[in-house]
Chain A
């Protein structure tokens, strides 16, 4: 149990286009989902936290108009990178916390999406 999927696993796009990444909890309900960005050989950087049915909370320095997050259901959150630039190229990882059981902080991670902007 507690499987999280991400789609696509890898995407290459042209500069100026938008890319949507989906994060799904396959066998549990996730009231909270987290979006991370990871640069090569570095730790995870939390971008935003999304709660089902409400606006996402963005970390300082993360542009909410550039990284649009939607958490429309208890099993799906999406991250849309708008007007992508080469510096947005990175590894994006989502995680989910179980509904009713998130108090201990345990998160279940998706496999990540490698975004390359040309």
Chain B
């Protein structure tokens, strides 16, 4: 079965420290992976995606993610956290079924809290 797991409900990081938000996936075929961020009472904003190519993907707001095929992971990272990075982060993978209209399968979300 296809799935996405975000094992941490919440991640707390001090401002200026590096942050990592974890994501692992299970999908048949080549994965198309995404990270989105959601600020309170707002829709989702695209951060970055991995389709093919370099395993390290750079995205918006200084975020990057590393695709690791052997570990089936796509962890989100940032070298130096900002208080404004505090938000809800979702990992998603494109469904493999050809009749799926290329739906996204979503992780449960990780709340990131950056403390001053």
Q: Which residues of A contact B (CB under 8 A)?
A: 4, 6, 32, 34, 41-44, 46, 49, 51, 57, 91, 93, 95, 97, 102-112, 114
Contacts and interface: CB of A to CB of B under 8 A. Distances in A.
Nearest to B50: A104
A111 B42 contact: yes
Contacts of A110: 43
A42 B106 CA distance: 11
B42 A112 contact: yes
Q: Considering residues A91, A93, A106, A111, which has the most beta carbons from chain B within 10 angstroms of its beta carbon?
A: A106
Contact of A114 (B41, B49, B102, B104): B41
Given A97-B102, A104-B49, A106-B46, A91 B41 contact: yes
Interface residues of B, number: 25
Given A93-B44, A104-B32, A114-B41, A44 B101 contact: no
A44 B90 contact: yes
A49 B108 contact: no
Interface of B: 32, 34, 36, 41-46, 49, 51, 90, 92-95, 101-104, 106-109, 111
Q: Considering residues A44, A51, A105, A106, which has the most beta carbons from chain B within 10 angstroms of its beta carbon?
A: A105
A43 B107 contact: yes
A111 B43 contact: yes
A42 B41 contact: no
A92 B56 CA distance: 33
Given A93-B43, A105-B94, 11 more contacts: A42-B109, A44-B106, A49-B101, A51-B101, A91-B41, A102-B101, A104-B94, A105-B93, A105-B102, A105-B103, A112-B43
Nearest to A49: B101
